Structure 1
């Protein structure tokens, strides 16, 4: 196994520094995206998978905690964007803010709008336009809101491609990010950044503990979850950068957290208590060079991480076919195995096709006028102070 170099960030530089040096890449965080996306898929398809393969029953608790993949992604988004932008945007610039928002739009909107129209076509075909008995909205106003990625701002009910609720939440965070980076870019002490990360997560958990519905969600308060975890990820990144990789000892927090979720149903049953632990695990992973970093940095996992956004956005579009396959094959071991293999293969092919034919080409086209260099998908980017950087890939996830 090859040795991975410790990803130690360069010291912060003043905004406007023309240095063209690049921060070290973080391929392990791209690999982590694949893990989080698959966790979300397992969460949504757990009933079908258990019906088709009862031998997977020991994984039921782990799959039921898969909604936490969204929380992992929200924190990861804040962490990587802070790694790329926080110091470079510590001084306000209209041009820099404009380019940041444009690049984030280019990152999420093309895949979102394509899957929106696929869902619309499928709904028209099977007759599920309008509002379903469960409250799923495929209406004209929901369509317009989806085009602007503000659909979750105006209604908590799912609309069209259901996982895209988190795109709306992330878009909210992206629009606030230039102001956030302006406020936090001058944090120079790791201890201060850790305190602010704890404060962000603590405020989120306090609101959930006192105001959540019985199902664990907040009505009309989507911003609590995204901001608590996005800001938490930003501050954990700054704690790492300012503390010079001292968080590396926390790398094992992440796999241990997943084990706890798998073994203790009460830890993650519709609640978010594990979210801060997952955030700490991200920081520990970024600061480490151990076996877990080497594993997540392997080419296959990095490639899967690059396709994780596409996977997330397409996985529920095939839900009717999976349900039909379950009805057809349930009780027959060979047919059930065939359906599961086909399910995995179709998702893999669809994800890669969306990545290569929609996500990457559209992002290049929408950002073609940018004068800055594009960061790598694994998180490498010009050091703070370089010109505006279009940013690393990140992730979107699901609702509990």
Structure 2
């Protein structure tokens, strides 16, 4: 399969996930606040994003029933139909229950589509191409968020719900185009597993040799960064920055830096190999938090905070791509969607735990202490992960790619599932 088509396909699929997410996360809090809801009530809407944390439960069903092309077409076209239907509603603001239901439905569809897309990527991409593929994953999703939270939000502000959702439907339809011509690899195991394996199939995957240790290591790798990055918005507010400044720094400069970081991380995973990319990107990610610590401990203004935000988004994007690439390497092609989903769900859960821990620390000792501890934990997490895999921790398939550079041709076909 040509590399150009793989790039088109994966960019479209990951962009489709970010479109509704970007709009709803930007527009819904504003609308609810206008309706008089408290900040606590608004924060409770995060429960509507539960499918992203629970998607491992139905991942085996998607791995072992039907084809990924059929699943993707059904999910993509379902999202198009849903957006078009919402475009026929005159005023969603008068029916908030419908808006909240729509948010949950789009999250369910996007999370399910993510399972199928990740499983497809594991099987389509060769070991050498996975760095590029994960750069596309992070960059495509971020681009979708920018379009959803920027372009579509602007259309909503100018023209209302109807035109905005019709525009979303058109964009989602465009992202479905490469799926129509998809010719995916034949499944490694054509025999259908028993129903119990489809309902609880994630449990034996979780117990595979090396997987529990690997989950602990990747969570430790991200814990320190998540702990500090989760409170950057409140830190900016408490430092005296205006809403316009925060939007410019985080929304514009931060998003652009994330896209650049995704591209750089993909290039490093491709050129340097897994170990070098994870070590260098992880340490750089930890170093970016030093700027926040300097801003919190000193009497600095917007320039240093802006520099810290750009560095954190750039270097954090690089580290995420390097980590996601290793997670693809750890996934069994026969259970690709399930394995990768378990790993990504673990990161979602650890992000929440890290954010809560960071909030407790910041309340008790201030932002300066929070960012200093984040630097230490992020550095330790990176070194522990690299050292542990050096000693053989994690799934055995990691040994094939861990310490060597992938020097085969970029257009080489992906290895056969189960090879």
Same structural fold, with TM-score higher than 0.5 when normalized by the shorter chain: no
TM-score with structure 2 length normalisation?
0.32
TM-score with structure 1 length normalisation?
0.33
Q: Greater helix percent: which structure?
A: 2
Higher relative contact order (CA 8 A, sep 6+): 1
